[in-house]
Amino acid sequence: MYLSVVIPCMNEEESIPGLVERLAQAIKPWKDQAEIILVDDGSTDATWKAIEAAKLICPQLVGVRLSANRGHQIALTAGLEASQGDRIFMLDADLQDPPELLTDMMFMMDRGFDVVYGRRSERRGETMFKKATAHLFYRFLNAMSDVPIPQDTGDFRLVNRRSLDAVLAMPEKARFIRGMFAWAGFKQVGIEYIRSPRELGETKYPFRAMLRFAIDAMTAFSTKPLKLATRLSFISLFMAALMAVYVIYSLVVYQTAPGWASVVLAVSFFSGAQLLTLGILGEYIGRLYVEAKNRPMYFVSEDTRDVAPVSRRLRA
């Protein structure tokens, strides 16, 4: 197998027919040595039926159905582990990232690059809030991360088998695939493109999901939040010392205690700093707890290949 295309799907029954049609055209130069892997991430609609119907039309298609919803990054991992190609092309099912860019990515990989990722030069059809938060996310992530992560990129990329095997060897359960490829290194290059608006279905990344994704990304690739908590504690002690000097001075000079405003201000500041510190520590402790259980990331309930469905887990 020369080329594998991996797409996680969650409630994408409307998008599957158009997705498979465009992918079939995009992989036509390699169709005799290519596979399209659609991973159904515990969809509650007819996504799996749409995948089975598409397989009757496209013989290169492989369907993998997870036993429950595990999230986009785990579903993507399941597809990457199921892939057999020397080159692996990743994209989402909403077709906002153009599969036709595969030809250009292949050309760049032929020139010796291990990873070719798409960089969004423009995001059409998205709200100002989504664009602003995405812009701030990548800048803030790079400021906090110990590893430089390409800005304005997603999981839309072409990777070779060497770089993929390096990423699959990483055992963490809280996955941030684009950051893991950045950490793995190798020779990487970006290709700019214009991201299209979603034509069918609804986004699977509301604000709450994006916030959780951002927290996972920062805690997975940086210990700087822990250092920030330490600095906050020192700032709190310094402020407490200043407040003590102010209180003593007021008692001696004015023969009275400070007013309620200064008390409320001090209590609010120190309480906020303590809660923030505890929250940061809790995120890291929670990650340690999840990793310590060492549960499989997912189970496969159905597979359209001519083999019995099996449970897969991350390779050690």
Q: Indicate left, alpha or beta for 206 from its phi (over 0: left) and psi (-120 to 50: alpha).
A: beta
Can you give the pLDDT at residue 314?
38
pLDDT, tens digit, for every residue of 281-309? 766 776 666 666 666 676 676 677 755 44
H or E element that contains 34: strand 34-40
CATH topology for the 3-222+296-303 domain: Spore Coat Polysaccharide Biosynthesis Protein SpsA; Chain A (3.90.550)
Domain boundaries, the chain: 3-222+296-303, 224-293
3-state helix, strand, coil split of the chain in percent (to 5) is: 50, 15, 30
Nearest to 313 by CA among 302, 289, 301, 297: 297
pTM of the complete model beyond 0.85: no
pLDDT, tens digit, for every residue of 219-269? 666 666 666 666 666 676 667 667 666 666 666 666 555 565 566 556 656
Going residue by residue through the chain (316 aa), what tens digit of pLDDT does each one get? 689 999 998 888 888 888 888 898 888 888 888 999 999 888 888 888 988 888 888 888 988 888 888 888 888 888 898 898 999 999 988 888 888 889 889 999 999 999 998 888 776 656 676 666 666 666 666 666 666 777 777 788 899 999 999 988 887 777 788 888 888 888 888 888 887 766 655 655 555 666 666 666 666 666 666 666 666 666 766 676 676 666 666 666 665 555 655 665 566 566 666 766 766 676 677 666 666 666 667 667 667 775 544 444 433 3
Bridge pairing between strands 300-303 and 61-66: antiparallel
Can you give the pLDDT at residue 311?
40
Residue 133 CA to residue 85 CA, distance in Å, equals 35
**Distances 74 to 102, 206, 248 between C-alpha atoms, Å:** 23, 18, 57
Nearest to 64 by CA among 79, 86, 53: 79
In contact, 191 and 117? CB cutoff 8 Å? yes
